[in-house]
Amino acid sequence: MSSVQIRDVRKSFGNFEVLHGVSIPIEDGQFVVLVGPSGCGKSTLLRMLAGLENITSGTISIGDRVVNNVQPKERDIAMVFQNYALYPHMTVGENMGFSLKLRNASSDEINKRVKRAAEILALSPLLDRYPRQLSGGQRQRVAMGRAIVRDPQVFLFDEPLSNLDAKLRVAMRTEIKELHQRLKTTTVYVTHDQIEAMTMADKIVVMHDGIVEQMGTPLELYDKPENQFVAGFIGSPAMNFLKGHVRVNGVATFEGPNGVKLPLKNAPANSDGRPAVYGVRPEHFTIADDGADAEIIVVEPTGSETQVFAKVGGEQVVAVFRERHQFNPGDKVRLKPDPSLIHLFDDATGKRL
């Protein structure tokens, strides 16, 4: 186990820079999730950490060793690939023991370690099968087994669940988290799915267009997003954004589209008339007499909660209710955001106010 330091790392392919100076400290034993939309550079960063891509500038260190010029095989890391990259001509056992075999471990030692990893992952009955004979979830577990057997300093996961169906993905998510709690190996996990990030991470790093937008614990990111991008990316359904102006005349309010009045707990200093973006999560709406006028468009019950799409000041917003309201399309209701849970962002920069 080891800490990992990523310091001001840049990456260019030819003249095209995809990572513009990324710094991420990772503590020993931490589960860090790199999350962002496709093309944000998260997989490239992971591959640089693995040694599969060169580092254009900056440093990456594992433990207290700078690994910029260290061969992948000498970095003592194990990686789980998106397509699993299992060796099709080897059995499950051989796949898992391959790295030990390359290091000339004795066959007793290999057997022992493969068996132990197989027990952890419930793969024992499958050791003599070939990858082709396995289901997606089983292959995924073999890929993890191959990583565990190595007992490396760092685990790297590159979107490991994206090839699985929805149900299996949820199950594997729990399994990976449980595995980390058991082994406590430093883990860097790349995904584009913010729910995976929220549920698994000790620390989330939100990336966008080659920079780190914000890092922090899942709840920090949810409660205090530093900018509009993070606010919109974390949380499902996504946060509603309404453009308008801050009004401070006695009571602070937010004047939304078409003059709709929205409550503010307190306005930033000297911000009367300032153009801003009002952010409110769907789950922070309530039905109240002093709420904003809204017309219901679509109602989507999921059982545990109900998603309601409505028009507020001509803009579409989504609200989520745990209580069972009887709504029909076309109904007029009054939606009130909880003023202590709303977010204000600068209209031009998207930064949190």
Partner 1 sequence: MAVIAEPVAAHVKRSSLWTRAFESRNFLGAMFMVPAIAILILFLAYPLALGFWLGMTDTKIGGAGRYIGFANFVSLAKDSVFWLSVFNTIFYTVTASIVKFAIGLYLALLLNEHLPFKSMIRAIVLLPFVVPTVLSAIAFWWIYDSQFSIISWVLIKAGLITRYIDFLGDPWNARLSVVAANIWRGVPFVAITLLAGLQTISPSLYEAANLDGATNMQRFRHITLPMLSPIIAVVMTFSVLMTFTDFQLIYTITRGGPINATHLMATLSFQRAITGGNLGEGAAISNAMIPFLVAAILLSFFGLQRSRWQQGGRD
Interaction between residue 73 and partner 1 (CB under 8 A): yes
Alpha helix stretches (DSSP H) within the chain: 42-50, 92-102, 107-120, 136-150, 166-183, 194-200, 218-223, 228-233
Whole-number minimum distance, CB 72 to partner 1, in Å? Answer: 5
Interaction between residue 231 and partner 1 (CB under 8 A): no
Question: Which of these segments, 80-88, 178-186, 320-328, 343-351, binds partner 1 (CB under 8 A)?
Answer: 80-88
Interaction between residue 50 and partner 1 (CB under 8 A): yes
State which residue, 91 or 307, has the beta carbon closest to partner 1.
91
Pick the closest to residue 21 from 67, 66, 58, 62 (CA basis): 58
Whole-number minimum distance, CB 82 to partner 1, in Å? Answer: 8
Binding partner 1 by CB under 8 A: which of 1, 66, 70, 90?
90
State which residue, 150 or 203, has the beta carbon closest to partner 1.
150
Interaction between residue 136 and partner 1 (CB under 8 A): no
What six digits make up the tokens of 79?
Answer: 């990686």
Binding partner 1 by CB under 8 A: which of 33, 45, 67, 98?
98
Strand positions, DSSP E, the chain = 4-13, 16-26, 31-35, 57-62, 65-66, 77-80, 154-158, 186-191, 203-208, 211-216, 240-249, 251-255, 261-263, 275-280, 285-301, 306-312, 315-321, 332-337, 343-346
Rounded alpha-carbon distances, angstroms, from residue 71 to 77, 194, 280: 11, 32, 47
Q: How many other CB atoms are there within 10 angstroms of residue 171's CB atom?
A: 12
What six digits make up the tokens of 118?
Answer: 């197989």
Q: How many other CB atoms are there within 10 angstroms of residue 17's CB atom?
A: 14
Question: Which of these segments, 128-136, 178-186, 230-238, 321-329, binds partner 1 (CB under 8 A)?
Answer: 128-136
Q: How many other CB atoms are there within 10 angstroms of residue 232's CB atom?
A: 16
Whole-number minimum distance, CB 59 to partner 1, in Å? Answer: 20
Interaction between residue 132 and partner 1 (CB under 8 A): yes
Interaction between residue 105 and partner 1 (CB under 8 A): no
State which residue, 52 or 219, has the beta carbon closest to partner 1.
52
Q: Which of residues 330-349 bind partner 1 (CB under 8 A)?
A: none
Residue 183: phi, psi to the nearest 5? -90, -25
State which residue, 46 or 294, has the beta carbon closest to partner 1.
46
Binding partner 1 by CB under 8 A: which of 83, 107, 266, 316?
83
Interaction between residue 102 and partner 1 (CB under 8 A): yes
Q: Which of residues 145-184 bind partner 1 (CB under 8 A)?
A: 146, 150
Instruction: Give the interface with partner 1 as residue ranges (CB under 8 A).
Output: 50-52, 72-73, 77-79, 81, 83, 85, 87-90, 98-99, 102-103, 129-133, 146, 150
